Amino acid sequence: MESAASPVEHRAEPKSWIDYIQKDLPEHLDWWPYTLGAIPLTLFGLLVATGLLLTFYYVPSPDKAYESIEQITNEVYLGWFVRGVHKFSVDLMILFLFFHVIRVFVTRAYRTPGELKWVTGSVVLLVTLGMGFTGYSLVYDNVSYWGMTVVTNMLGTLPIVGQPLLYLLRGGEEVSGGTLLRLYDLHTKLLPVLLGILVAGHVVVVRLLGFADVRGSRRFHPFYPEHTMMMGAVAVGLLVLITDLVMIFPPTLGPPADPQEVASDVSPPWYFSAPYMWITLLPGPVALWSLLGAVGLFVVYPFLDRALSERGWPMTAVNAGVGTAVVLLVVVLMMLDTRM
Amino acid sequence: MAIIHDDFGRRRFLSQAVMGFGLLFGMGTLGLRFLQFLIPSPTPKRYEAVLIGAESRVPVGDAVPMDLGGQKIMVLRTNDGVVAFSRRCTDLGCLVSWSKEREQFVCPCHQGVFDKTGRNIAGPPPRPLDRFEVVKRGGQLYVNIQSS
């Protein structure tokens, strides 16, 4: 019977922080979908590394920004590769964060005592989206310039905080050189530090609060070396995938920003195209308030779940339904955006 | 939970509460000031007449885009006279273009459409295009634009 009992229970209580990190994991984490949280973490590391490299060449001024990206892409040794890895890493990070959120949502892994895991994780997602947008704007080709204009305008229409936020981001009423510098500062200083703290906080909270109970998952498997190896394998797999993607789709650069001529395709990055279409299709205030409401509900969802399940709602089915509906809606909106 | 009735507990609670509020207030004020530092205050607008040339510069039924000190405008000449509109779409700030055939301003971002009086007639724009006054002085046209 020795092997059936959880080995972790026989060990001494964890003492130092490294013991918390190395605490054994429930056996269900042996299953690949449960590495979905480790994937964005790996990509975050990759983004920090490639981002640091890019800052050695990037010049955040309207006259030089495009030129420096061109230099990185076409002249600097392996510049195209570093930029490509950075670009695909952020796309994949956001994609896998979405998958991670869907997995946690459908399995209701945020249930008590895991609310804080969800709340920190949801803020990580929001800040990552902010990183995505600010980075997208730095390219300063025409699509990026008009994308930046449109997204900051979108933020400017938010009730109460909209106008101050617009001024904060743009450094004035209009998109200018100051805007680029501000977005650069946000992208390379404030947001990465914030994201780093949040990611570390999320990991620590997950380890302290423990993983959600999964039916049938009684045993534990060691964090080291089993789970570490698994995460290592995921990281290597990601590196291979990203290298292939960069080789097949090397980063490109459109015509330079032209404040006099709107780019033919002013789509924001793919992860913003659903809210962008939502705002386009619905009347302004309805679209904005519903989006804000949705973001608010998203962050506090575990508490809503608790309140509803106490009233006897079948939340597993509700979540499956809501999750499917939201994913379908997002896909439809994204498809509409590609057609407009 | 036991309620502490002694002075020591009350004093400690009060002192911690005062310190806590003081700290929060101080940090809050500092944070607010930092935020004010980062958010530039809107500069007062004043109107300025800018020479855009003779009326003949704009063919009848056509519109000419111009950039007057950062203000992107479209000067349209119809049989009724010359009018100037901001090119900024009132939806999300893309630039509208003039379609001569349709006699409409069209925004390429979400197909917002404005008629020749600047009125929003289709698509998501919530209000008409901003309009600037055009004055004729000695055969030359001036546009009163907002400058900061």
Confidence band of A197 (pLDDT split at 50, 70, 90): very high
Domain tally, chain A: 1
CA dist., res. A178 & res. A137, Å (int): 13
Confidence band of B140 (pLDDT split at 50, 70, 90): confident
Which pLDDT value is given to residue A174?
83
Residue A340 inside a domain? The answer is no
Q: From the centroid of its chain, how far is CA A206?
A: 18
User: What is chain A's mean pLDDT, rounded?
Assistant: 86
Which pLDDT value is given to residue A5?
43
Residue A95 near residue A308 (C-beta atoms within 8 A): no
Q: What is the DSSP letter of B57?
A: G
Residue A232 inside a domain? The answer is yes
Residue A168 has pLDDT above 50, yes or no: yes
CA dist., res. B96 & res. B84, Å (int): 13
Instruction: Give yes or no: residues B62 and B35 share one domain.
Output: no
> Chain A contact for B59, CB < 8 A?
no
Instruction: Give yes or no: residues B120 and B70 share one domain.
Output: yes
Instruction: Give yes or no: residues B8 and B75 share one domain.
Output: no
Contacts for A181-184: CB closer than 8 Å, 24+ residues apart: A181/A60, A181/A61, A183/A134, A183/A137, A183/A138, A183/A148, A184/A58, A184/A60, A184/A134, A184/A138
Interval B43-98: pLDDT, tens: 777 778 888 888 788 888 888 888 887 788 899 988 888 899 999 998 888 889 88
Interval A177-189: pLDDT, tens: 889 999 999 999 9
Interval B41-52: pLDDT, tens: 877 777 788 888
Which are the contacts of B108, defined by CB distance < 8 A and separation ≥ 6? A262, A264, A266, B94, B97
Confidence band of A7 (pLDDT split at 50, 70, 90): very low
CA dist., res. A287 & res. A277, Å (int): 10
Interval A310-340: pLDDT, tens: 998 899 999 999 999 999 999 999 998 887 7
Report A:192-251 residues touching B (Cβ under 8 A).
none
Contacts of B72 in chain A (CB under 8 A): 259-260
Q: How far is B5 from chain A (nearest CA, A)?
A: 33
Interval A217-243: pLDDT, tens: 667 777 777 788 888 888 899 999 999
Residue A299 inside a domain? The answer is no
Which pLDDT value is given to residue A261?
82
Residue A15 inside a domain? The answer is no
> Chain B contact for A264, CB < 8 A?
yes
Instruction: Give yes or no: residues B28 and B55 share one domain.
Output: no
Residue A127 inside a domain? The answer is yes
Confidence band of A295 (pLDDT split at 50, 70, 90): very high
Residue A289 inside a domain? The answer is no
Confidence band of A11 (pLDDT split at 50, 70, 90): low
Instruction: Give yes or no: residues B99 and B68 share one domain.
Output: yes
Which pLDDT value is given to residue A132?
93
Instruction: Give yes or no: residues B29 and B93 share one domain.
Output: no
- State residue B113 phi and psi, 5-degree precision: -125, 135
Contacts of B109 in chain A (CB under 8 A): 146, 150, 262, 266
> Chain B contact for A335, CB < 8 A?
no
Mean pLDDT of B135-145: 85
Instruction: Give yes or no: residues B69 and B1 share one domain.
Output: no
Instruction: Give yes or no: residues B63 and B30 share one domain.
Output: no
Confidence band of A6 (pLDDT split at 50, 70, 90): very low
Residue A39 near residue A81 (C-beta atoms within 8 A): no
Mean pLDDT of A259-286: 81
Which are the contacts of A190, defined by CB distance < 8 A and separation ≥ 6? none
Higher-confidence residue of A151 and A57: namely A57
Instruction: Give yes or no: residues B70 and B6 share one domain.
Output: no
List the domain range (segments joined by +) for residue A29. 25-264
Measured CA to CA in angstroms, residue B9 lies from B2, B16, B137 at distances of 12, 10, 82
Measured CA to CA in angstroms, residue A169 lies from A105, A183, A194 at distances of 32, 7, 17
Domain tally, chain B: 2
CA dist., res. A76 & res. A74, Å (int): 6
Interval A33-71: pLDDT, tens: 777 778 898 999 999 999 999 999 999 999 999 999 999
Residue A24 has pLDDT above 90, yes or no: no
Residues in chain B: 148
Residues in chain A: 340
Mean pLDDT of A18-46: 79
User: What is chain B's mean pLDDT, rounded?
Assistant: 85
Higher-confidence residue of B14 and A222: namely B14
Contacts of A173 in chain B (CB under 8 A): 42, 148
Across the interface, of A149, A172, A266, the residue whose CB is closest to B40 is A172
List the domain range (segments joined by +) for residue B2. 1-41
Interval A199-211: pLDDT, tens: 999 888 888 887 7
Residue B40 near residue A167 (C-beta atoms within 8 A): yes
Instruction: Give yes or no: residues B53 and B19 share one domain.
Output: no
Higher-confidence residue of A22 and A217: namely A22
Which pLDDT value is given to residue A4?
44
* High-pLDDT (> 70) share of chain A, %: 93
Q: CB distance B109–A260 less than 8 Å?
A: no
Q: How far is B41 from chain A (nearest CA, A)?
A: 8
Higher-confidence residue of A85 and A15: namely A85
Which pLDDT value is given to residue B148?
58
Residue A161 has pLDDT above 60, yes or no: yes
> Chain A contact for B92, CB < 8 A?
yes
Q: Output the domain CATH number for residue A240.
A: 1.20.810.10
> Chain B contact for A266, CB < 8 A?
yes
Instruction: Give yes or no: residues B70 and B122 share one domain.
Output: yes
Which pLDDT value is given to residue A3?
41
Report A:72-131 residues touching B (Cβ under 8 A).
none
Residue A313 inside a domain? The answer is no
Instruction: Give yes or no: residues B28 and B62 share one domain.
Output: no
Residue A66 inside a domain? The answer is yes
